[in-house]
Amino acid sequence: MTRLSSEAADYAPLALSNATTSDHDEPPDEWQIPRSKAANVWARIGTLNLLVLALGSIFLAAPLVLLGLVWRESVVAISGGHPNMLWTRVVHAEWTARFVTACTAVIRIIIAFQAGVFTAMVASIMLETIGTPLSYAPFYSIIRAVSVSPNTLLFTASLRPKGVLSLLIALLVVVEAAVIVASQFLSTILISDFMNSRFTDADNFTQVGGAIDYYGRVSFWWKMPPTSSWTFAEMSEPFSDGPNYHDTGHTYRAFLPFDDEAPRKDLRRFRGPAQVIDYRVFCVQPFLHDMTLNPLGADGLSGQVAIDAPYHQLPGLPTNQFVNFTCKLPSPYIRERMWGEGSLCFPQLPENWTVQLAEPLVETIENRWPSFANMFLVLDSLDHGARISNYQGLAIPGPHVEVARKDGPWAIVNNGSDVEALRVSACFTDFHAAEFIVEMNSSWEGLEPKLTWDLEADGHNTEPSRRQLGVSRSPQSLRERGVLALIMHSQRNDSDLDTQDQGEDQGLVTPQQSVPGFLSGLPPENKYDEANFDTGLLLSKGDVSDVLRADVSHVDLFQDALHDTDSPALASQGLLTRAAQMAYYKDLVRDNTTESARTAFSTIASIPMQWTGFIVAVSLVAAHVTILLIILVIFIFSTHHSLLGHYWQAIAQVVSEDTIRVLEQADAMKDDEVAQWGEHKIPQLAQTSLVRRQSSGRVAVGVGEESEI
Does residue 214 contact residue 584 with C-beta atoms inside 8 Å? yes
Does residue 226 contact residue 259 with C-beta atoms inside 8 Å? no
Q: Could you tell me which of 307, 269, 214 has the C-alpha nearest to residue 585?
A: 214
Mean pLDDT value across residues 120-149: 87
DSSP state of 503: S
Please name the residues in contact with 663: beta carbons below 8 A apart, sequence gap of 6 or more.
654, 655
Is the pLDDT assigned to residue 268 strictly greater than 50?
yes
Q: Say what the pLDDT of residue 16 is.
A: 45
Mean pLDDT value across residues 379-406: 70
Q: Which of 592, 627, 646 is the last residue of a domain?
A: 592
Is the pLDDT assigned to residue 18 strictly greater than 80?
no
Q: Say what the pLDDT of residue 283 is.
A: 97
DSSP state of 614: H
Please name the residues in contact with 568: beta carbons below 8 A apart, sequence gap of 6 or more.
246, 281, 283, 378, 380, 409, 410, 425, 427, 562
Q: What is the 3-state secondary structure (H, E, C) of 343-359?
A: EEEECCCCCCCCCCCCC
> Under DSSP, is residue 554 helix (H, G, I), strand (E, B) or coil?
helix
Angle, helices 568-590 vs 552-565, to 10°: value is 150
Mean pLDDT value across residues 247-261: 94
Angle, helices 164-183 vs 96-125, to 10°: value is 160
Please name the residues in contact with 127: beta carbons below 8 A apart, sequence gap of 6 or more.
137, 140, 141, 144, 642, 653, 690, 691, 701
Amino acid making up residue 541: K
Q: Which of 557, 592, 627 is the last residue of a domain?
A: 592
DSSP state of 326: E
Q: For the residues of 576-587, what is the DSSP string, one character each?
A: HHHHHHHHHHHH
Indicate if 421 and 557 belong to the same structural domain: yes
Mean pLDDT value across residues 402-426: 91
Least confident of 254-263, 415-424, 696-705: 696-705
Mean pLDDT value across residues 238-248: 95
| pLDDT grade for 356, boundaries at 50, 70 and 90 | confident
| pLDDT grade for 507, boundaries at 50, 70 and 90 | very low
pLDDT tens digit sequence for 665-705: 787 788 777 877 777 777 777 777 788 887 777 888 888 65
Is the pLDDT assigned to residue 260 strictly greater than 80?
yes
Indicate if 173 and 101 belong to the same structural domain: yes
Least confident of 160-164, 406-410, 702-706: 702-706
pLDDT tens digit sequence for 74-125: 998 888 778 888 998 999 888 999 999 999 999 999 999 999 999 999 999 9
Q: What is the 3-state secondary structure (H, E, C) of 76-96?
A: HHHCCCCCCHHHHHHHHCCCH
Choice between 166 and 286, residue whose per-residue pLDDT is larger: 286
Indicate if 233 and 148 belong to the same structural domain: no
**What's the distance, CA 197 to chain centroid?**
10
Buried-state track 328-347, b at ≥16 Cβ within 10 A, e below 16: bbbbbeeeebeebbbbbbbb
Tally of domains within the chain:
2
| 471 lies in some domain | yes
> Under DSSP, is residue 440 helix (H, G, I), strand (E, B) or coil?
strand
Does residue 322 contact residue 527 with C-beta atoms inside 8 Å? no
Indicate if 167 and 301 belong to the same structural domain: no
Q: Could you tell me which of 514, 599, 538, 606 has the C-alpha nearest to residue 212?
A: 514
Choice between 238 and 591, residue whose per-residue pLDDT is larger: 238
pLDDT tens digit sequence for 624-676: 999 999 999 999 998 888 889 888 888 888 888 777 878 877 877 887 778 77
Q: Which of 562, 592, 622 is the last residue of a domain?
A: 592
CA distance linking residue 677 with residue 217, whole number of Å: 109
Q: Could you tell me which of 371, 554, 380, 534 has the C-alpha nearest to residue 465?
A: 554
Does residue 448 contact residue 264 with C-beta atoms inside 8 Å? yes
Q: Say what the pLDDT of residue 258 is.
A: 92
Q: Say what the pLDDT of residue 267 is.
A: 94
Indicate if 581 and 657 belong to the same structural domain: no
- Measured between alpha carbons, how far is residue 109 from residues 112, 553, 644 in Å? 5, 66, 20
**What's the distance, CA 187 to chain centroid?**
24
pLDDT tens digit sequence for 451-500: 899 888 888 999 999 999 999 999 999 999 999 999 988 645 443 334 33
Which residue range(s) make up the domain with 354? 211-592
Q: Say what the pLDDT of residue 619 is.
A: 96
| pLDDT grade for 37, boundaries at 50, 70 and 90 | low
Mean pLDDT value across residues 267-272: 93
Helices (runs of H) and strands (runs of E) counted in the chain: 19, 28
Model-level pTM?
Answer: 0.72
Q: For the residues of 260-315, what is the DSSP string, one character each?
A: SHHHHHHEEEEEEEEEEEE---EEE--EEEEEEESGGGSSEEEEEEE--S--TTST
Is the pLDDT assigned to residue 29 strictly greater than 70?
no
Q: Say what the pLDDT of residue 532 is.
A: 77
CA distance linking residue 645 with residue 661, whole number of Å: 26
| 206 lies in some domain | no
Buried-state track 445-471, b at ≥16 Cβ within 10 A, e below 16: ebbbbebeeeeeeebbbbebbbbbbbb
| pLDDT grade for 433, boundaries at 50, 70 and 90 | confident
Indicate if 184 and 253 belong to the same structural domain: no
In the chain the first and final C-alpha atoms are separated, in Å, by 40
Indicate if 566 and 445 belong to the same structural domain: yes
Please name the residues in contact with 237: beta carbons below 8 A apart, sequence gap of 6 or more.
248, 249, 250, 251
CB neighbour class for 596 (10 Å; exposed up to 12, middle 13-18, buried from 19): middle
| 187 lies in some domain | yes
pLDDT cut 90: percent of the chain above it: 42
| pLDDT grade for 332, boundaries at 50, 70 and 90 | low
Is the pLDDT assigned to residue 397 strictly greater than 70?
no
Q: Is the dihedral of CA 360, 362, 363, 369 positive or negative?
A: negative
CA distance linking residue 669 with residue 216, whole number of Å: 107
Is the pLDDT assigned to residue 15 strictly greater than 80?
no
Mean per-residue pLDDT over the chain, rounded: 82
Indicate if 166 and 259 belong to the same structural domain: no
Indicate if 586 and 696 belong to the same structural domain: no
CA distance linking residue 488 with residue 478, whole number of Å: 16
| pLDDT grade for 528, boundaries at 50, 70 and 90 | very low
CA distance linking residue 430 with residue 281, whole number of Å: 8
| 10 lies in some domain | no
Is the pLDDT assigned to residue 599 strictly greater than 50?
yes
Does residue 683 contact residue 676 with C-beta atoms inside 8 Å? no
Does residue 123 contact residue 129 with C-beta atoms inside 8 Å? no
| pLDDT grade for 212, boundaries at 50, 70 and 90 | low
Is the pLDDT assigned to residue 333 strictly greater than 70?
no
Indicate if 555 and 488 belong to the same structural domain: yes
Is the pLDDT assigned to residue 297 strictly greater than 70?
no
Mean pLDDT value across residues 565-592: 89
| 597 lies in some domain | no
Taking phi first (over 0 means left), then psi (-120 to 50 degrees means alpha), and beta for anything else, what does residue 651 get? alpha
Indicate if 587 and 619 belong to the same structural domain: no
Q: Say what the pLDDT of residue 153 is.
A: 85
Q: Could you tell me which of 446, 405, 396 has the C-alpha nearest to residue 424?
A: 405
Which of 24-28, 108-112, 517-521 is predicted most confidently?
Answer: 108-112
- Measured between alpha carbons, how far is residue 21 from residues 15, 29, 664 in Å? 10, 19, 22
**What's the distance, CA 177 to chain centroid?**
38
Q: What is the 3-state secondary structure (H, E, C) of 364-405?
A: CECCCECCCCEEEEEEEECCCHHHCHHHCCCCCCCCEECEEE
HSE-up (13 A, CA, CB side) for residue 252: 19
pLDDT tens digit sequence for 43-82: 888 899 999 999 999 999 999 999 999 999 999 888 877 8
Least confident of 128-132, 226-230, 261-265, 370-374: 370-374
CB neighbour class for 377 (10 Å; exposed up to 12, middle 13-18, buried from 19): buried
| 20 lies in some domain | no
> Under DSSP, is residue 648 helix (H, G, I), strand (E, B) or coil?
helix
> Under DSSP, is residue 438 helix (H, G, I), strand (E, B) or coil?
strand
| 602 lies in some domain | no
Mean pLDDT value across residues 231-251: 96
Mean pLDDT value across residues 371-379: 87
Does residue 288 contact residue 403 with C-beta atoms inside 8 Å? yes
Q: Say what the pLDDT of residue 341 is.
A: 87
| 26 lies in some domain | no
Strand-pair category, 484-489 with 232-236: parallel
Q: How many angstroms separate the most distant Cα atoms in the chain? A: 152
Q: Say what the pLDDT of residue 306 is.
A: 93
Indicate if 390 and 464 belong to the same structural domain: yes
Choice between 209 and 206, residue whose per-residue pLDDT is larger: 206
